[in-house]
Structure 1
Amino acid sequence: MNLIENVREALNSVKVHLLRTVLTGAIIAIGISSLVGMLTAIDGIKAQIAESFAGLGANSFDVRNKGFSGGRVVQEGKTEKTYPSITYKEAKQFKEEYASIGIATVFNVVTGSAEVKRGSKKTNPNTRIRGGDENYLSIKAVKLAKGRNFSNMEVRYGNSVAIIGKELEELLFNSGEDPINQKITFLGRPYTVIGVLDKQGGVGQDQGADRQILIPIENASRLDTQGTFNYRITGVASDPGKIDYEMGQAIGIMRKIRQDRVAQEDSFELTKSQSVAESLEEVAGYLRIGGFGIGFITLLGASIGLMNIMLVSVTERTREIGIRKALGATPLRIRQQFLIEAIVICVIGGIFGMILGIGIGNIIANFIGPGGFLVPWLWMIVSFGICIIVGLLAGYIPAFKASRLDPIESLRYE
């Protein structure tokens, strides 16, 4: 009995015991589909995150206060140095000088607990007021549902105009009522609504993005009566390949504005927005490990089920094994026959499991957020290898048992 005959016999056994093969293959298919499905869904979600950050611009960077909020920087329990916060004047000057290289936006948070009124209607005191300029929406990839962006003149002169979040529109205006050019009041001042932000959602109960109001940064700076506002800058490089070079230029511009001496360290911080995407990639890696672990446990259960079926098969075919041995089949050939049969069942179940897993994974990923169809070739190759390994592990003990059977006792078996 050679290897080709063993393959032929294994396929014939699969065909004869079709129902058993289908049920056993279904166990493997469920295990593989859970593995491939979870990993496909994670990769699909990661791709959507990457696309979102591409919209924000992987070629963007933030300029902010040293230590995030200015003041003293503490390291190893020692207060090292006091750094002044970035002022509105410095941020504005940076934006103007950086304009020869790329575009930049200056923004800040005025308050996170404002109450907004319109006539007899008012919101809870949990509205976030943010100052921004004409570049803020495009650089931060925030879309408008209706209305328009700030004009250059409105930003320059600090007009009392506002762009409101979707939730505020629903709270302050009746259904079907157009909020554009309507008056609202917050922080004791009236503002004219010129736009409504597209719905952004949030995590859990935090829907803060839909409760925010954007006002011109010049107008926001006038509310800084005590000089405590935290101004931040986001710059965009002219080309993703030039980001490191242009960040170096940005550092030079900011050092000049801040009057940092030659031997003095930077009194501000620059960070790439890509670092946030890298952090999310790290989280996706942990999710992938978790998904692989859960899928492996499912496959472990499937392999035990397959081993049980193969042991039953050995018992049912004891006389057949005795006849083969009597005709000259060696223990090696007997082991090969049962191992190949187990592997064939695993491969058939694995192929269906991969197809099912790809479909389920893409459905989950597209349900969470619209995206393209993802075919995870790496996980398909890994899953196919796992099928072979599961077949070998699950089939070895039954195959070893079959190869050790005594031919005389096997022929007597009823």
Structure 2
Amino acid sequence: MELLENIKEAIRSIKSNWLRTILTGLIIAIGITSLVGMLTAIDGMKAQIEESFSGFGANNFDVRSKNLSGQSRTMEGVREKQFPPVSFRQASEFKDSYSERGLSTIYCWITGAAEVKRGSETTNPNTRIVGVDENYLLLKGLDLERGRNFSNVEIRYGNNVCLIGSEILTTLFENHEDPLGDYVSFFGNRYTIVGVLEEQGAVGGDSGADRNIFIPIENASRLDQTGNFRYTITASASDPTKMDYEMGQATGVMRQVREDRIGEEDSFEVIKSNNVGESLEEVAGYLRIGGFSIGFITLLGASVGLMNIMLVSVTERTREIGVRKALGATPKKIRQQFLIEAIVICVIGGAFGVLLGIGIGNIVASFVGPGGFLIPWMWMILSFVVCVIVGLISGVIPAIKASKLDPIEALRYE
């Protein structure tokens, strides 16, 4: 009951001086607005970017050979069981069976050290040759700058055609030359260029797809003289919200294709290929740290301002404190009264700051693209917890000062 009475008294004290309360609450509201606004904007932009990227990478998973390094590993004295790599025939069977559920693509890395020639021009021996099918560009999010994708006939019969990256175009062709219909040579064969990929760019000195040449997967399989090529299938989940279920279905299809017996472990791997989503989450994490740091610094300044105002309030109400002590109020009750008053002011300012922050955050996020209205419940709860902590920190020194006032000296204060 004492706590409830102190809360009522704190509210009565706040009502007696609305202007001071509003100005004090605004200090906290600005800090909370910066904190919630930044975090809401970051989450909103991340959600909209993920939605834009959902078609290539965020909702895909890979079905591939186990132990891609080709070297057996020993764990706790037990050598890991070796399984044969996924063959082109098995990958094709899986693609046909999975087509009822969604799209999938087969690809294989042939080499990363090819030398490509065109007349007298030659690339460095660092060109990557990749065998792909007609769905590869769609599922990997690659766009053509000019030309076209492989036709069904070219994929089926493995014609000598290719798609080249922007770096290959720059190395082998002059600015005024049209590469479409021209020829490049590698592996002793001549390939007709039917398309050029848009420049992708990459991080860390790697040119990504810009240094790649893509050939039909059937053509690539004919280059596999030793049977050492490792074919990977990337499948797109028909329902992104049921990724685990879709991966389970794909596992069942591949076990049937690979003829894995009941009770035996999978002779292949099914893993999420959400590199885009992981990278985006990593960037969003850094942005959240930055936003939280800026908001924390703003709240730190707000807490200093609140503490200053509460100290002034103690001075203004010295006579009131003396009367309370003369009527039997203990130092503990005086401390509680000022602490609760500081917390109530913080919570009022925090509630206004949360509403303002959510609005500003969603407005900022909407500049990235149209999306739904985001209500960050976690940040709202965190903000109110922070408000209580700020109120405690800001009110503790004024409360202690008020509780230590001598009642006789306080009553004499004018």
Shorter-chain TM band: 0.7 to 0.9
Q: Using the alignment, how far apart are the partners of 2:61 and 2:337 within structure 1?
A: 61
Instruction: Say if 2:368 is the partner of 1:375.
Output: no
Alignment of 1:261-340 (within 5 A): 264-273=264-273, 290=289, 294=293, 298=297, 301-302=300-301, 305-306=304-305, 308-310=307-309, 312-314=311-313, 316-317=315-316, 319=318, 321=320, 325=324, 330=329, 332=333, 336=337, 339-340=340-341
Question: How many residue pairs were aligned?
Answer: 404
2:352 maps to 351
Q: Is the 8 A contact 2:184 2:191 kept in 1?
A: yes
Q: TM-score scaled to structure 2, two decimals?
A: 0.76
1:105 maps to 105
Runs of 5+ unmatched residues, structure 1:
none
Q: TM-score scaled to structure 1, two decimals?
A: 0.76
Q: Is the 8 A contact 1:118 1:184 kept in 2?
A: yes
2:11 maps to 7
Q: Using the alignment, how far apart are the partners of 2:128 and 2:363 within structure 1?
A: 36
CA displacement at 1:123 relative to structure 2: 4.3
1:88 maps to 88
Q: Is the 8 A contact 2:116 2:127 kept in 1?
A: yes
1:251 maps to 254
2:183 maps to 183
Instruction: Say if 2:199 is the partner of 1:195.
Output: no
1:397 maps to 397
CA displacement at 1:142 relative to structure 2: 2.8
CA displacement at 1:55 relative to structure 2: 1.3
CA displacement at 1:107 relative to structure 2: 0.5
Secondary structure of 2:81's aligned partner = strand
What one-letter code is carried by the residue in structure 2 that aligns with 1:165? G
CA displacement at 1:98 relative to structure 2: 4.3
Out of 342-351 and 373-382, give the one that drifted further. 342-351
Q: Using the alignment, how far apart are the partners of 1:152 and 1:399 within structure 2?
A: 80
Q: Using the alignment, how far apart are the partners of 1:320 and 1:190 within structure 2?
A: 98
Q: Using the alignment, how far apart are the partners of 2:383 and 2:6 within structure 1?
A: 29
Q: Is the 8 A contact 1:115 1:124 kept in 2?
A: yes
Out of 190-199 and 348-357, give the one that drifted further. 348-357
Q: Using the alignment, how far apart are the partners of 2:169 and 2:276 within structure 1?
A: 31
Taking only aligned residues, the RMSD between alpha carbons, in angstroms, comes to 4.4
Instruction: Say if 2:159 is the partner of 1:156.
Output: no
What one-letter code is carried by the residue in structure 2 that aligns with 1:107? Y
Q: Is the 8 A contact 2:32 2:299 kept in 1?
A: no
CA displacement at 1:194 relative to structure 2: 1.9
Q: Is the 8 A contact 2:307 2:395 kept in 1?
A: no
2:67 maps to 67
Secondary structure of 1:81's aligned partner = coil
Q: Using the alignment, how far apart are the partners of 2:118 and 2:363 within structure 1?
A: 45
Over 3 Å counting, the alpha-carbon distance change for 1:171 and 1:359 in structure 2 is farther
Runs of 5+ unmatched residues, structure 2:
none
CA displacement at 1:156 relative to structure 2: 1.6
Q: Is the 8 A contact 1:362 1:374 kept in 2?
A: no
Q: Is the 8 A contact 1:72 1:79 kept in 2?
A: yes
CA displacement at 1:54 relative to structure 2: 2.9
Q: Percent identity?
A: 43
